[in-house]
Amino acid sequence: MNTEEKMALAGRVAADVPEGAYLNLGIGLPTLVANRLGGEDKEVILHTENGVLGRWIDAPEGEQDPDLINAGKVAIKLLPGAAFFHHADSFAMMRGGHLDICVLGAFQVSADGDLANWHTGDPQAIPAVGGAMDLAIGARQVFVMMDHVDREGNPKIVRQLSYPPTGLGCVTRIYTNMGTFEPSPDGSKVKALYIAPELTFEQVQQQTGVEIDFSMLIETLKGY
Amino acid sequence: MINKQISCPEEAISRVKDGDTVAIGGFGGAGSPNILIDTLIERSEAKNLTIVSNNAGENEEGIAALLKAGKVRKIVCSFPRMKNSWVFEELYRKGELELELVPQGNLAERLRARGSGIGAFFTPTGYGTALAEGKEIREIDGVHYVLEYPITVDVALIKAKAADRFGNLIYNKTARNFGPVMAMAADITIVEVSEVMQPGELDPENIVTPGIYVDYFVNI
């Protein structure tokens, strides 16, 4: 995705975050969602694993405090109404089901909502996990934000994970540059909620590793 | 009279023994007790240490400097692989450093459990993943949990903003992170602060780490 496509995708995810939601944004692509939330018109409370709950923006040049950073180690500037807490409390919030939504990147998502985003499976890779596993199972809803296919053109929405899992059955919705999809409990297909208007259903199906159920969109189109 | 303040970090760092498990606070650079770490490197003979921390250090400062000094046998952490973690990477690839990778929430809760006298706990984190391999699993009310044990900590090195002579602590913003749970977990807790308060100057309502968890603090 180019920058414009990434921002458009972030906008689509942000539109599904209601006012008053407690939201955690994973590092990488998901951080773009913060800029598209709607500022003062729609108040959303952010959570960062390293101990802040509240509203903030990236700290402008000259206002960067090394003791005030987010999970991506980026300096932030707080708006009024924030709270600090330690790591056990932070993860209690995450694991205890208090966060409404977390937005995460992924290598793959399976049709029944398994998530792979912490390890490529390369035995030579240095493993690192951070808070990914806690977030994946703890948030009430997990939105995945990712490219529809990987760099080699392989589908990232798959029947079954081939990458090491981060969490099982935990993904609520998948947002890609091609559309928005929902896993199904039996893992037989994913349901399309939205397809980018310049694409045909067939084009999208071809780049997806499992059957897509387009029936909801077809029903909507029938209304026209 | 109770006074947990010491004038020189070496006094407290001398309590670190060979083979000890040392918990070191910090998330990235925020809250990293660099003076205490430097003292451990320069003024202590202790080696074969197990370090418990969120990261494995960056560039050649803090924990990275400790690794480079050859004092560490094993690191228990959640995210060792950052842009500038070349010191960790080299030692790990050469097989000179053992890594126990722990999800960040488990790191926090295992430390909290140790400090709280909890023998073990069930968490949903990591179920079905490589990090739950070999561990006891239990299904409770339809949810699968993994059994996790406390981390035994001999010494904690943490950074706080201010202390009074009783060892009551407050922290600074996101530099707080693991400090409070490491303070609870360790047999000996050593703190570096930048301000010493008079008893009563810190509002009891707002103290983040009560002094019961603190053994020594030094004003840096």
Which of B 140-169 lie inside 8 A of A, CB atoms?
Answer: none
Average pLDDT over residues A131-135: 97
| The total number of structural domains that make up chain B | 1
* Domain carrying residue B78: 17-161+171-191
CATH code: domain of residue B101: 3.40.1080.10
Domain contains B2:
no
Residue A117: the pLDDT is 97
Could A138 and B99 be called an inter-chain contact, meaning their C-beta atoms sit closer than 8 Å?
no
Instruction: Determine the distance in angstroms separating the CA of B104 from the nearest CA of chain A, rounded to an integer.
Output: 5
Is residue A220 over pLDDT 90? no
Task: State residue A40's pLDDT score.
Answer: 76
Q: How far apart are CA A8 and CA A145, in angstroms?
A: 12
Q: How many CB atoms lie within 10 A of CB B125?
A: 29
B217 lies in a domain? no
CB A110 within 8 A of CB A161: yes
* pLDDT beneath 70: ranges in chain B: none
For residue A218, the model assigns a pLDDT of 86
**Per-residue confidence (pLDDT) for residue B82, from 0 to 100:** 86
**B211 domain residue, yes or no:** no
Query: Token pair for residue A148?
Result: 């529809």
Distance from CA of B62 to the nearest CA of A (A): 15
Query: What is the rounded CA–CA span in Å between residue B115 and residue B188?
Result: 12
The CATH number that applies at residue A10 is: 3.40.1080.10
In a domain, B96, yes or no: yes
Q: Is B187 inside any structural domain? A: yes
ipTM rounded to 2 decimals: 0.96
Owning domain of residue A172: 3-222
pLDDT digits (tens, 9 = 90+) for A24-78: 999 999 999 998 988 778 999 999 999 999 999 999 999 999 999 999 999 999 9
Tens digits of residue pLDDT in A87-113: 999 999 999 999 999 999 999 999 999
| Within a domain: B175 | yes
User: How long, in residues, is chain A?
Assistant: 224
Residue B98 covered by a domain:
yes
* Strands of A27-178, DSSP E: 45-48, 52-54, 56-58, 76-78, 83-84, 101-104, 108-110, 115-116, 141-146, 157-158, 173-176
Would you state the pLDDT for residue A86? 98
Is B8 a member of any domain? no
The residue written with tokens 């722990």 in the block is B102
- Domains contained in chain A, number: 1
3-state secondary structure A116-154: ECCCCCCCCCCCCCCCHHHHHHHCCEEEEEECCECCCCC
Chain A residues contacting B, CB < 8 Å?
A: 48-52, 65-70, 73, 84-88, 90-91, 94-95, 114, 119, 126-134, 137-138, 164-168
Is A19 one of the catalytic residues?
Answer: no
Considering chain A, what percentage of its residues have pLDDT values greater than 70? 99
Contact B171 A84 (CB under 8 A): yes
- Cα distance between the two ends of chain B: 22
Q: Residue B215: what pLDDT?
A: 98
